């Protein structure tokens, strides 16, 4: 559906018929990776998120306003970054409804510059999301998936969210 | 503008929210959530859901409407032009599903003064029409001191 997503999951891709990503709690080990994903943002993505969420704060679409309040430029909604990052855990779970708890701290802004040329849909920002098993609760039959969310700028990587934890109900 | 810590614990009047398929599909597209349960009712049904289910962070759309009561409360004394989103947490008791009529009410849970600024935590309880808890949204905002260092 989304050509901008490149996903590598440790388990076979899910389908509606089979939730292949989830194994029994006993088979999961702390520290085990569930996969990684690159997420790209364009200015058009910020406008789409503003419309879908109702968050029309101009720091997410107006360069002049953003710089006037002390930012280097337009930044992504923290909730867009948080919302996009959890897709890795939801897809691994095989059912987004299995994500029963999800939290994060917003630590660094995610700048989304205007594309220098071409379509405003041209991505100008890339994030890498890596998921690992943080904790397994066999009694509750849940796994805590810890996500690392980094802004990728050439060789440089900056962690933009911290304590990104999604609790997923297992089979 | 002075933050009024006496407002701690105050619960504001709730709001109603009807969950539509269109809102779920638009939000899923916006957060690049490609799972078919957000767009295909048959795929959702295959997982046991009565209709399309919302991505985990969709609850923020509902919560923010209820949180507006805090923003619009002069008694709380919070200057939202100087607010930075610090933390967010969603606890789901059941996935938010298309066709539901939900309510949401926000409590100003905690105000922690930090110099001239403050950390403000709100808790929004989202319930279904029968009053059964569906989701809890906890949001923490950092209110910065203004440029002049006003106390």
Q: Which of A75, A162, A161, A64 shows the shortest CA–CA distance to A113?
A: A75
Task: Judge whether A43 and A80 are in contact, CB under 8 Å.
Answer: no
The reply to whether residue A54 touches residue B64, judged by beta carbons under 8 angstroms, is yes
Which of B20, B30, B82 is the mutation pick for testing A, counting most A CBs within 10 A? B30
Q: Where are the domains of chain B?
A: 5-143
Residue A120: which CATH number? 3.10.129.10
- Per-residue pLDDT tens digits for A91-128: 999 999 999 999 999 999 999 999 999 999 999 999 99
- Per-residue pLDDT tens digits for B106-137: 999 999 998 888 999 999 999 999 999 999 99
Q: Chain A partners of B137 at a C-beta cutoff of 8 Å?
A: none
For the structural domain made of B5-143, what CATH number should be given?
A: 3.10.129.10
Better-scored residue on pLDDT, A26 or A50: A50
Q: Give the minimum alpha-carbon distance from B57 to chain A in angstroms, rounded to a whole number.
A: 6
Residue B56 at interface with chain A, using a CB cutoff of 8 Å: yes
pTM (predicted TM-score): 0.91
Query: How far is C-alpha B91 from the chain's CA centre?
Result: 11
- Per-residue pLDDT tens digits for A130-164: 999 999 999 999 999 999 999 999 999 999 999 99
In this structure, is residue A61 part of a structural domain? no
In this structure, is residue A126 part of a structural domain? yes
pLDDT number for residue A121: 96
State the ipTM, two decimals.
0.94
Q: What distance separates the 2 farthest-apart alpha carbons in chain A? A: 54
Its domain, for residue A29, covers: 6-41+85-169
Mean of pLDDT values over B35-63: 98
In this structure, is residue A32 part of a structural domain? yes
Least CA distance to A4: which residue of chain B? B32
Q: Chain A partners of B93 at a C-beta cutoff of 8 Å?
A: 100
Enumerate the β-bridge partners of residue A103: A165, B89
Least CA distance to B45: which residue of chain A? A16
Domain count of chain A? Answer: 1
In this structure, is residue A115 part of a structural domain? yes
Q: Chain A partners of B138 at a C-beta cutoff of 8 Å?
A: 103
Structure tokens at A90: 């939801």
In this structure, is residue A141 part of a structural domain? yes
CB nearest B49 (choices: A87, A97, A105): A97
The reply to whether residue B34 touches residue A91, judged by beta carbons under 8 angstroms, is yes
Calpha distance B66→B14 (Å, rounded)? 6
In this structure, is residue A59 part of a structural domain? no
């Amino acid at each position: 559906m989304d050509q901008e997503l490149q996903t590598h999951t440790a388990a076979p891709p899910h389908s509606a018929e089979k939730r292949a990503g989830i194994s029994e709690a006993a088979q999961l080990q702390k520290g085990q990776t569930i996969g990684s994903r690159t997420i790209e943002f364009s200015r058009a993505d910020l406008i789409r998120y503003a419309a879908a969420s109702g968050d029309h704060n101009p720091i997410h679409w107006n360069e002049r306003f953003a710089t006037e309040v002390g930012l280097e430029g337009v930044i992504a909604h923290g909730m867009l970054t948080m919302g996009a990052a959890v897709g890795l855990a939801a897809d691994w779970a095989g059912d987004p409804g299995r994500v029963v708890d999800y939290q994060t701290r917003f630590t660094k802004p995610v700048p989304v510059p205007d594309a220098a040329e071409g379509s405003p849909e041209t991505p100008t920002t890339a994030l890498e999301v890596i998921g690992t098993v943080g904790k397994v609760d066999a009694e509750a039959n849940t796994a805590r998936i810890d996500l690392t969310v980094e802004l990728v700028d050439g060789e440089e990587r900056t962690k933009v969210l911290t304590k990104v934890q999604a609790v997923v109900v297992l089979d | 503008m002075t933050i009024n810590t006496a407002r701690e614990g105050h619960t504001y009047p709730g709001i109603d929210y009807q969950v539509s398929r269109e809102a779920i599909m638009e939000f899923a597209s916006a957060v690049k959530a490609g799972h078919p349960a957000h767009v295909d009712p048959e795929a959702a049904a295959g997982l046991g859901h009565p209709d399309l289910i919302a991505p985990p962070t969709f609850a923020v759309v509902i919560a923010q409407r209820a949180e507006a009561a805090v923003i619009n409360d002069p008694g709380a004394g919070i200057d939202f032009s100087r607010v930075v989103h610090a933390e967010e947490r969603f606890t789901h008791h059941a996935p938010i599903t298309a066709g539901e009529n939900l309510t949401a009410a926000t409590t100003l849970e905690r105000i922690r003064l930090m110099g001239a600024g403050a950390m403000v935590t709100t808790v929004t309880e989202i319930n279904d029409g029968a009053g059964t808890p569906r989701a809890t949204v906890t949001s923490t905002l950092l209110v910065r001191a203004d440029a002049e260092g006003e106390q």
